[in-house]
Structure 1
Amino acid sequence: MRAKSFNSSENCFVLNTGHKIPAVGLGTWQADGDICTEAVRTALEVGYRHLDCDHLYGNEVEVGQALSEALRGGLKREDVFVTSKLWCTTNAPKRVETSVKVCLKNLELSYLDLYLVHWPLTFSFGDATDPPRKPGMELRQPSHRLKATWQAMECLVEKGLVNSIGVSNFSIQQIEELLSFAKIIPAVNQVELHPFWRQDDLVKFCQAKGIHVSAHTPLGVPASNLLSNECGSSGEDECETPRIAFRRCRSVHVPMIKTSVVANIAARLNKTPEQVILRWGLQRGTSVLPRSLRPERIKTNFDIFNWSLSEEDWKKINSLEPQLRLIDSGYSNISEAGPLQAVQETDDDIEGI
């Protein structure tokens, strides 16, 4: 069950670019202000060397503050893996470089280790999460959109602004289209993965193509109704880019960690249910990105090395049902076959493509 490309001595996976991605990262979604800074500070002290960020989360300044403190304290920049993402309103090709530079300024960094196309859709610059609902509005799927955006992403690598590029929440069909023209193969596909949403076919497909799979929401989420994120830092924005929180459409966090299969394994191994689930993800060959603001939980979530699940236990978790997707982007118009579907294209979007 040892994952391909997993380096057990360094607890990391080797990407198709040759760079190493730590197996456990701290998710920073919905972490605001001083609480965010403290969580990142705790994680780095515990031993985390992977931070999963996004300008959309509205807290990259706080993440940058904690990271800068650690770097001034002796931590080497090359020993920390920092990810950020390109949001759907800023993926017009000419905005891609500006967007990553905003992230770099807020994080106080000169380069990112990984930059991801956040979702396989796009809409007019400045729109909020709910796209225009005009009666009879024609939805278009321009074939040039993903190609042009990806070419702009590839330029970031050439300019040394990012080490690796990838995608997030992409399906098999969407990745297949991307591979048909990509000069740089995506290094990572970050998707929702947990025992109740395993996406087995997608994981196998990506791994067969040499694309590492990283698991966001690996422990499920508690029920919550989320609106636009007005909290967080006043870090630099590109023309007041909206900070938007996604809708959590259902909760399986409590049922997942309390299900008898997981609970029994955890009790027998003297581990927490969360540790068991994260270890399951690791043994699938995926890196995992648990989010927590609690110091003790941050510590225990990192303790998934130097022990393993038996083949029998791993298979039990791998057969849990039902399969339920938790994170809903709120767009019924996301197409499996049409990457970066344009909800509305403006002249500014099309210019120069």
Structure 2
Amino acid sequence: MGDSVDQRWVPLSDGNSIPILGLGTCSLDKPVKGETVKAVKAGIEIGYRHFDGAFMYGNEDEVGEGIRAKIADGTVKREDIFYTSKLWMTYLSPALVRKGLEHTLKSLKLDYIDLYLIHWPMGLKPSEDVLFPEDASGKILQSDVDFCETWAVMESCKDAGLVRSIGVSNFNHKQLEMLLRMPKLKYKPVCNQVECHPYLNQNKLLKYCKSNNIALVAYSPLGSSQDPKWFDPNNPIVLNDPELRKIGEKHNKTAAQIALRYQIQRDIVVIPKSFNLGRMKQNKEIFDFQLSDEEVKAIDGINKNCRYITLKQLIDHPKYPFHDEY
């Protein structure tokens, strides 16, 4: 599919399609009240139609408020908006999957979600209000729930019309294979949303996903926010990379715009998160130029297999996805 001036849609295996550029809404710290509403409304006004959220982010009520406001004033119709949400780890028990989805729909005050993902392959002790249940010593309480059983209920949510498409996030290729080999599989995951940027280019996982007609969606496509509570501040900063800056100078673009363009030329959906209006606009200005094959190859060459989001507190979970290479 060719690029338009301001967007491109990628076909999914179930017949639906997803905008290749979206706006992430994750706020690691609880955002100032009203900040997410304002960002979503501004995003729609400047042309974003794809918004990526999750129960875990704690602001789906404001995302929904922003979307509904722009529908109410006639800027967009519901069918113009593509919204992604995610089922949190404490809801992976088959008995809680539908409850998790209904919680999100109630927060958004929308009738359906365009794409619903299993947020992580790892289950935690079932809970409807505590994100990371702990024992008296502070250890996170795990669950051995089989995500294939979770998936079967996700399929029923699609059949019920509550979601248009279903997929996964943070799955490695072996875990994807487990889903694809389910004896009674009705719908295969349309996508796998993972950390992906020039320092973690995910080439092997991308090749696997493409061979199975699974779209790759890149979160943190510009690298880490360097928040020490979540990331190792000693990790290199993607946007300071001299190769990205050099290529950017040639095209009169920022390093961030080069990093995003690199991904969309690999048919990877990108969901950069910024509530800064200037950066939101800049991140959209990636459809008016093309990287050469040599430039894409040069960016491939700066890969460091550097993962910022590791969730190390769950490294001993039997379904921890990052022990495998991809």
Q: Deviation of residue 224 (structure 1)?
A: 1.4
Partner of 2:189: helix, strand, or coil? coil
Q: What TM-score, normalized by structure 1, do the two folds share?
A: 0.82
Letter in 1 for 2:283: N
Classify 1:261/1:157 alpha carbon distance in 2 versus 1 (closer, same or farther; 3 Å): same
CA distance in 1, matches of 2:212, 2:61: 35
CA distance in 2, matches of 1:203, 1:218: 14
CA distance in 2, matches of 1:338, 1:261: 30
1:83 counterpart residue number: 84
Alignment of 1:79-158 (within 5 A): 79-126=80-127, 128-129=131-132, 132=135, 141=144, 145-158=146-159
Alignment of 1:258-277 (within 5 A): 258-277=240-259
8 Å Cα contact 1:257/1:273 also seen in 2? yes
2:307 counterpart residue number: 325
Residue 22 of structure 2 corresponds to residue 25 of structure 1: yes
Residue 203 of structure 2 corresponds to residue 221 of structure 1: no
Of the three residues 225, 231, 248, the one matched with 2:231 is: 248
Q: Deviation of residue 91 (structure 1)?
A: 1.3
Of the three residues 209, 212, 219, the one matched with 1:209 is: 212
Residue 161 of structure 2 corresponds to residue 160 of structure 1: yes
CA distance in 2, matches of 1:29, 1:140: 25
Of the three residues 189, 194, 197, the one matched with 2:192 is: 189
2:53 counterpart residue number: 53
8 Å Cα contact 2:124/2:141 also seen in 1? no
CA distance in 2, matches of 1:80, 1:328: 31
Q: Which contiguous aligned blocks of 4+ residues in structure 1 show a shift greater than 6 angstroms?
A: 137-140
Runs of 5+ consecutive residues of structure 1 not aligned to the other structure: 1-5, 227-246, 340-353
CA distance in 1, matches of 2:276, 2:320: 40
CA distance in 2, matches of 1:314, 1:125: 44
Q: How many residues align?
A: 311
1:179 counterpart residue number: 180
Classify 1:319/1:194 alpha carbon distance in 2 versus 1 (closer, same or farther; 3 Å): same
Deviations 1:178-237, CA, capped at 9 Å, x for gaps: 1111221000100000011112111110111000010000001122133xxxxxxxxxxx
Classify 1:172/1:219 alpha carbon distance in 2 versus 1 (closer, same or farther; 3 Å): same
Deviations 1:80-117, CA, capped at 9 Å, x for gaps: 10000000001111111111111111112100000000
Deviations 1:153-189, CA, capped at 9 Å, x for gaps: 0000100000000000000000001111122100010
CA distance in 2, matches of 1:134, 1:58: 26
8 Å Cα contact 1:130/1:331 also seen in 2? no
Letter in 2 for 1:72: A
Deviations 1:256-303, CA, capped at 9 Å, x for gaps: 212110001111101111000000011111000100111000000011
CA distance in 2, matches of 1:160, 1:221: 36
8 Å Cα contact 2:196/2:219 also seen in 1? yes
Classify 1:99/1:318 alpha carbon distance in 2 versus 1 (closer, same or farther; 3 Å): same
CA distance in 1, matches of 2:157, 2:297: 41
Which range moved further: 147-156 or 26-35? Answer: 26-35
Runs of 5+ consecutive residues of structure 2 not aligned to the other structure: none
CA distance in 2, matches of 1:138, 1:16: 35
CA distance in 1, matches of 2:26, 2:305: 23
Partner of 1:327: helix, strand, or coil? coil
8 Å Cα contact 1:222/1:252 also seen in 2? no
Q: Deviation of residue 322 (structure 1)?
A: 2.2
Partner of 2:314: helix, strand, or coil? coil
> Between the two proteins, what is the percent identity of the paired residues?
35
CA distance in 2, matches of 1:138, 1:97: 22
Classify 1:287/1:338 alpha carbon distance in 2 versus 1 (closer, same or farther; 3 Å): closer
Partner of 2:316: helix, strand, or coil? coil
Deviations 1:4-49, CA, capped at 9 Å, x for gaps: xx45345110000111100111000107222211111111111111
CA distance in 2, matches of 1:29, 1:60: 10
8 Å Cα contact 2:54/2:86 also seen in 1? yes
8 Å Cα contact 1:118/1:169 also seen in 2? yes
1:312 counterpart residue number: 294
Letter in 2 for 1:80: I
1:12 counterpart residue number: 9
Letter in 1 for 2:192: N
8 Å Cα contact 2:251/2:289 also seen in 1? no
Q: Deviation of residue 134 (structure 1)?
A: 7.3
Residue 37 of structure 2 corresponds to residue 37 of structure 1: yes
Q: Deviation of residue 140 (structure 1)?
A: 7.3
